Every structure is written in structure tokens, then in C-alpha cells.
Chain A
Amino acid sequence: MADDSKPLLEFKEVSLRFGEKWALKKISLTLNPGETRIIFGAAGSGKTTLLKAVIGLVEVDEGEIRLFGKNIAHMDEHELYGLRARAGFLFQEGGLFDSLTIGENVEYPLLNQQSSGSTSASDGPDKSSETGSEQRAKNTLRFVELEHTFNQFPAEVSGGMRRRVGIARAIVTEPPLVLYDSPTAGLDPITANTIMALVAKERDTRNSASLIVTHRYQDGELMSKFRYDAEREELQPVDPQDETRADCRTKFIVMKDGEIVFFGTRPELESSDDDYVKKFIPKEESHAV
């Protein structure tokens, strides 16, 4: 479990240019254990680049990125693998290995992550027993309610199910930080809500921190208004009297042309006068979850 006193992630004045275009421009943000950040922005505003920069998949030009206390801005790729093993990442299309079964996909991080280096938090290939890792993969697939697909290939299941398998693979090592790149993009509203309910369940079950890139306002709304009740095994609206409630720990970021143009809570977002920011809030809010 992560040390609650230190931020898991810190961006300090981070900038990145692709030619003449700013992909990220003086981005600063902090993420503590258990916190959630919802990132909105138009296509090409730098949301996915920001997410990739968190684990060093893209190298930034300026600034400092501290992941689990270490500056990764110009870290050697080989050193980064140990740190990446401590952060789950859900790709937009799932990023599943199509030649492996769903069970093998979920088991993959347990068997293949770098065991060398002091930063590795998870079992390396030498530490995991075959049956132990398989059992953990099955348990995680059960968490996303897809245990029955263990022996199927990704191509044999629906897009929504592939996304859920992607979540299972991202969280199988129980990372303290999970990054979601458009988890609901291209999905119907029912499947999208199922996915977001799983994201909330993951956050509230293990108190993990989440960075969520999304186009759907409802995704952020669900994360801030609901919490997963482990006893009832369902999402419950947060208690307004509870100081640790989800809407205190969930904040919103709006990006435009590589810059953060808004940062704040959901009520602040909803009351924003900025024309660009207002575009991400539906005029007639749908509260159906």
C-alpha cells in the first residue's frame, strides 16, 4: 500500500512540443493516494500525451515528473520498467495481446514484469508460481465479472468486454495508481456505465489513485457522486456529510491545446463561465447511472 503522506504523482511545469505544436504546456498537477482526476479536452488537446507522460511512454522536453517520488522526466527506459510495473494503464482500445487468451493477457503482468531493480512492486517472473498467478488472474477477472472468458481470445468477445479485460490486466498487480485512457469511448451508454462502475469499484475497494481521460461528462459525474459499497456490492450515492466522500477526492481538469484551462471540483466545473469548459457539461444533465 502506498504511503499516504507523499503524492504518488507530481507534474511541475511540464512541457512537450511536437514540432511547432505544444502537446503539453507548463502542466502542473499533483495526485495523492485515493484521489481521482478526470481529464476532459477536445481531440488533440494533449490528454493522452499527458497520460503517457505519467509513465514515461513519451519523453517530455521540460519540467519535472515525479512518479512514486522519483523524477522520471529523463529517466533511462530500462529504469522506468520497474516504476511502470506499479502503475496500471488501460489503453483506449484495450491494447490486449491478440495472440494470448484473455486469461494469459490478465496473467501477463504477473509473469513478465521486470523483477530486477528495487522499484519493482510486483512479483517478477522468478517469484510468481504458475498456479498462484493464474489464480490471481482468475480473481481479477471475477472482479470485472468475466471469469468465464478465461480461455477465450480477445477477438472472440465484444468491445465492452475487451475494455473490462483491459481493466483487469491494469489492476491485476494491485497498483496504487491506475491510468485510464478513454475507458468508455465508442461504447453504448449501458456498457459505458458498467465500465465506470468497475473503475469506481476498483478505486473504492483498494483506495487506488486514478487518472481518467474521457469525453463523457457522465463518467466524471459518476466518479464524484458515487462510491462503491462493498457490503451491498453496488454503487451508492456519497453521503454529503462524509468528509472523505468521493466528490472531495475527485477533481476535474480541462485541457486545451496542451494547457490546463480548468482545475477544480464538480460544482466549480458546473458553475464555470468559460465557453470552452462549458462545452463538456451537458445542458440537460442526465443523472441516470
Chain B
Amino acid sequence: MARFLTTWISSFQDFILLAGRAFLNIIRKPHYYMDVLLQMDGIGFGSVPIVVLTGFFSGAIIALQMSRALNTYGASSQVGSIVALTLVRELGPVLTALLVAGRNASGIASELGSMKVSEQIDAMRALGTDPIQKLVTPRLIATALMLPLLTVVADAIGLIGAYLVAVPLLHVISAGTYWTTSWRALVVNDLAQGLMKPFLFGILISLIGCFYGLRTSGGTQGVGLATTQAVVSASIWIFFVTFLIDKIFVNL
């Protein structure tokens, strides 16, 4: 038990050091703008199809379930507001982050892990390039910027999915009422929460992916292990952080 705790604390310390250096490199020269753009394209644009699909079906499913439940209480007109609140505050950020964690934390960990075991990270250091500056910081910036944007896309598509179910399919509410109640349900607090969460998740996903990738050892088996650890760890942290933020915002 003591050994497990020591290992965990030591790993956490390494993670904090990596995070500190990655953040410090944002203001340090040289800046690898092209790497940031490439990562934004891969992580952001590359995740759009899966985020659109998931967002659409999330909204549609919430609308289906809520229409039925609210109809029991004669409150079908509230479908729009419930869908908007659920998506923007909770499901949009968390589902998008989980998808991006599955797609990108694993991708980052396996890419950096393969580079580590084939001496490419050492080669980078030997050639006078900081691997954290070249590999970690661009991924950190790209994920932290793209995840909120992806979440906005997921939220918007989710609202459209819910609209298609509630209005043309089930006819529980008129189009005008749906969009008006959705829009009015949201306050600044919800939007702030809905954007802050993916920003923090983006930081976590990229740093966790890089952390497990850079500490890979033991060849191809080690790369597989690092990838799995990155996804599991990122997913757990996403739930933990969303709980913390909810706790803070609920009390506001």
C-alpha cells in the first residue's frame, strides 16, 4: 500500500512538472506555430464527424425520453429548456471530452510512446529541440482551444437533433416555442460552465496523453499499455473535474 502511494505521488509530481514546463513553454521561444495548427487540424477538425454524430443522437435521445416523461405532467413545452440545459451544462462538454479522450489521448500517447521507444525523443533532445516545447505544448494549446469549439458544435447539433424529435416527429411542441424556451433557459452561468469545462478537459486530455506517452518503456507492449492508461486516466479525471466544477457552480 505504502509502495503504491509512493509511486502514485511520484507520478503525480512528474505530471505536475510536465504540466508546468508545458505551460511555461507557451511564453518561451521558439514557438512552433505550424505544429499547433497541425494539431488543431488533427484534434479539432478530425474530431468533427464523431462529435456531430454523438451530439445529434444525444439531443435526439434526451428529447425522446423527456417528451414522454414531461407529457405525464403536462409539461411538454419544457422539452427545449431541459434539452438546452442538459446539453450545454453537462452532456455536451462531458460526452465530447470523453470522445476526444478516446480518440486523441490514445493517439497522443501512442504517437509519443512510439517515438520514445525508438529513441526519437532522445534524438530530438540531442538535436537541440525541447520535446516538451515541440510535442507537448502544441498539443496542449490545440486541445485546450479546440475542445470548447467542438463542444459548441456538439451542443448546437444536439439542439437540432432534439428539435427534429420534439417538433416534426412527436409534435409535442411548436418550433417557435422550442427555440424560444431553449434560448431563454440558458443564463450566463450555464454558458460559462459549458465552456470552462471543455477548456479544462482539453488541458487534461492533452497532458495525460503526453505524460503517458513520454514515460513509455518496454517496446510495443509498453506503447499499448501507455495508450490504455491514458484513455482510462483521462476519462476518470473528466468525471472528477466535472463533479468539482458542478459543485462550485451549483453553489454560485
Q: How far is the CB of A180 from chain B (nearest CB, A)?
A: 12
Contacts of A122 in B (CB 8 A): 128
Report the bound CA distance from A85 to B123 in whole Å. 12
- A117-173 contacts to B, CB under 8 A, are 120, 122, 124-126, 169
Contacts of B130 in A (CB 8 A): 77-78, 81, 114
- A91-126 contacts to B, CB under 8 A, are 91, 93, 95-98, 108-109, 112-116, 120, 122, 124-126
Contact with A along B121-165 (1 / 0, CB 8 A): 011011111100010000000000000000000000000000000
Q: How far is the CB of B31 from chain A (nearest CB, A)?
A: 8
Q: How far is the CB of B28 from chain A (nearest CB, A)?
A: 7
Contact B125 A84 (CB under 8 A): yes
Question: Contacts A77-B130, A112-B127: A91 and B122 contacting too (C-beta < 8 A)?
Answer: yes
Contacts of B29 in A (CB 8 A): 114-116
Contact with A along B161-191 (1 / 0, CB 8 A): 0000000000000000000000000000000
Contacts of B128 in A (CB 8 A): 81-86, 109, 113-114, 120, 122
Tell me if B's interface is mostly helix, strand, loop or mixed: loop
Q: How far is the CB of A164 from chain B (nearest CB, A)?
A: 16
Question: Contacts A112-B32, A115-B30, A124-B30: A84 and B127 contacting too (C-beta < 8 A)?
Answer: yes
Report the bound CA distance from A55 to B30 in whole Å. 20
Contacts of A125 in B (CB 8 A): 30, 32
Contacts of B71 in A (CB 8 A): none
CB of A89 closer than 8 Å to a CB of B: yes
Report the bound CA distance from A109 to B30 in whole Å. 13
- Kindly identify which residue among B30, B120, B134 contacts A98, using a CB–CB cutoff of 8 Å: B120
Contact B123 A97 (CB under 8 A): yes
Q: How far is the CB of A165 from chain B (nearest CB, A)?
A: 12
Contact A126 B30 (CB under 8 A): yes
Contacts of B125 in A (CB 8 A): 57, 77, 81, 84
Contacts of A96 in B (CB 8 A): 120, 123
The winner among B28, B115, B118, B134 for most chain A CB atoms within 10 A is: B118
Contact A95 B30 (CB under 8 A): no
Contacts of A113 in B (CB 8 A): 127-129
- Kindly identify which residue among B30, B32, B119 contacts A91, using a CB–CB cutoff of 8 Å: B119
Report the bound CA distance from A78 to B21 in whole Å. 10
Contacts of A114 in B (CB 8 A): 29-30, 128-130
Closest B residue to A86 by CB, please name it: B128
Closest A residue to B111 by CB, please name it: A99
- Kindly identify which residue among B120, B122, B129 contacts A57, using a CB–CB cutoff of 8 Å: B122
Contacts of A120 in B (CB 8 A): 128
Report the bound CA distance from A113 to B134 in whole Å. 10
Contact A95 B126 (CB under 8 A): yes
Contact A116 B28 (CB under 8 A): yes
Contacts of A98 in B (CB 8 A): 118, 120
Report the bound CA distance from A284 to B1 in whole Å. 61
Question: Contacts A115-B30, A124-B30, A125-B32: A95 and B129 contacting too (C-beta < 8 A)?
Answer: no
- A50-91 contacts to B, CB under 8 A, are 55, 57, 77-78, 81-86, 89, 91
Closest A residue to B29 by CB, please name it: A116
Contacts of B32 in A (CB 8 A): 112, 125
Report the bound CA distance from A125 to B125 in whole Å. 16
Report the bound CA distance from A108 to B131 in whole Å. 13
Contact A57 B30 (CB under 8 A): no
Contacts of B28 in A (CB 8 A): 78, 116
Contact A109 B127 (CB under 8 A): yes
Contact with A along B16-60 (1 / 0, CB 8 A): 000000000000111010000000000000000000000000000
Contacts of B127 in A (CB 8 A): 84-85, 89, 108-109, 112-113, 169
* Partner-A contacts on B (CB < 8 A): 28-30, 32, 115, 118-120, 122-123, 125-130, 134
Q: List 12 A-B contacts (CB under 8 A).
A: A55-B126, A81-B130, A95-B118, A95-B122, A96-B120, A98-B120, A108-B127, A108-B129, A114-B128, A116-B30, A125-B30, A169-B127
* Partner-B contacts on A (CB < 8 A): 55, 57, 77-78, 81-86, 89, 91, 93, 95-98, 108-109, 112-116, 120, 122, 124-126, 169
Other than A78-B130, A97-B115, give 20 A-B pairs with Cβ distance below 8 A.
A77-B125, A77-B130, A83-B128, A84-B128, A85-B127, A86-B128, A91-B123, A95-B118, A95-B120, A95-B126, A96-B123, A98-B120, A108-B127, A108-B129, A109-B128, A112-B32, A114-B30, A114-B130, A116-B30, A122-B128
